[in-house]
Structures are given as structure tokens and as C-alpha cells.
Amino acid sequence: MKSFIAFALVASLCALAQANEEGVCRNSVVSACGSSSFSALTGFFTGESTSICNARFAGIESIEPEVQAYINSQLTKSYEYLLLATHFNSYQKNRPGFQKLYQGLSDRSFDDSIDLIKKITSRGGIVDFNTRHESPASVSTQRPTLEVDELHSLALALDNEKQLATGATHVHTRATHAALRDPELAHYLEESFLPKQADSVRKLSGYANDLAKLMKVPDPSLSIYLFDEFLQKQ
């Protein structure tokens, strides 16, 4: 405990050196350290979300609910893609290329969700998996019918990818235009999400257009077979 108090003191001295605009954390440490009981200190440093000594700064207040909504969107889409991959993995569909494409998108969305969780918590935010805040960054949990043919699935995936890119763009807009701006989060989205999403949208639009062209024949079964083979090699 002693070493911890010492650490807190060092931390508060550092904060002092930085001339923290309000010094709220420092003040709380000062008053807690003067208090007669340990319990005054624990309140500030345990996991209570009301702790004054936190990592929240810049536009976190306005951006937190948007990121929460966006994390839930990514998770929802991750499972939607998983089921789309499953649909193409049935013996009646038997399209390993399409399965691979959608499984990849599912894994990506899941990994991105964890990445976003780490980001928002690193900024002093929390994640709420249960409340679905209404935002352009949210998607419906109402799942569309996924038992669709190959071309429809590409159209569905293209729409999904655009929806996710639009969601990230919305969060970015909030980060750059809210009263309190958040360049750090905006930069994170610019670096880790937006370019990757632009690529993904572009890729799917290319696929959809290619397959649509190849299917302009009386019997497209061979076209789809070949296109699936192409997807497997991607």
C-alpha cells in the first residue's frame, strides 16, 4: 500500500509539473492523503467509473456513446458474416470461395471490435454491450435473410461494408466537429479503419460488378463456379 501511495504522489507531482488545467486528480489525492482513513483513497483508484483520476480528456464525452454504438455494430455484422459464410458452406451451396470471403469479413469485424474496445477503454471510456444507442454508427440487430444466391450475397456484403464505413465516418465526424474535439480518436479512425474500409468497399464493388457481368449468360452456373474458384485464391 505504501508503495502505491508513493506512486500516486509521484504521479500527482508529475501532474503538477504539467500544470493540469484543473488539477482535480491532484486535489483529490491531497485531500485523501490528509484524511484519517484509507478508504478515502480507495474510492479514487478502484474501478468505480466515477473516479476523478481517470484518462478522460478532449472529446471523449461526446464520442464515447458513438464508439459504443459502433462496437455493437461491428459485433452484429461479425455474426451476420459468420452466418453468410455458413450458408455458402452447406453442401447445397458448396462455394468455398464465398465462404472464405465472408469468414474473413466476420473475423475482421470481430478483431476490429476488440481493437475498438481497447481504444475506447484506453481513453477512459467504457463499453456497454446491452444498450443500443441510436446513432448513424448503429446497425439494426434485425438480421436480413441470409439464404441468398451468390450475386445477392455480394450486394448484401457491399451494403454492409458501406454501412460500416459510414459508421466509422460518423464517429470521425463527431470527433472532429463536436464542441470538444478529439483528434486522437479521429486519427485512430483515419489510420486503423477508414483506409481499410475503403479498400474493402472497393473490393466488394469490384466483385459484384464482375460477377454481374459474368452472369449475363443463359446459364450462369459455370460463371459462378469459376468466380468461386477465383475467390478461393484471393
Partner 1 sequence: MVKFIASILLLAVVAQQAYGDFKLPKARKVTEISKTSNDPTNSVMKELKKQNKNVILTHANAGQEEELKHKLICSLEVPEIPKAWLDMKDACISGMRHQIQEEINASYQYLAMGAYFARDTVNRPGFAEQFFKAAKEEREHGSKLVEYLSMRGQLTDNVSNLINVPTVAKQEWRDGASALEDALELEIKVTKSIRKLIATCESKPYNHYHLVDYLTGVYLEEQLHGQRDLAGKLTTLKKMMSTHGELGEFLFDKNL
Long-range contacts of 118-124 (CB under 8 A, 24+ apart): 119/67, 119/185, 119/188, 120/64, 120/67, 120/68, 120/71, 122/55, 123/55, 123/56, 123/57, 123/60, 123/184, 123/185, 124/54, 124/55, 124/56, 124/57, 124/60
117 binds partner 1 (CB under 8 A): yes
Smallest distance from partner 1 to CB 138, Å: 12
Region near partner 1 per CB under 8 A, out of 15-23, 171-179, 180-188, 209-217: 209-217
Smallest distance from partner 1 to CB 83, Å: 5
In 3D space, the residue among 64, 231, 84, 67 whose CA is nearest the CA of residue 159 turns out to be 84
> How many residues in total does the chain contain?
234
Smallest distance from partner 1 to CB 30, Å: 19
Please count the residues of this chain forming the interface with partner 1, following the rule CB under 8 A.
Answer: 63
Binding site for partner 1 (CB under 8 A): 1, 4, 45-49, 51, 53-56, 75-76, 79, 82-83, 86-87, 89-93, 110, 113-114, 117-118, 121-124, 126-130, 141, 143-152, 155-156, 159, 208-209, 212-213, 215-216, 218-221, 224
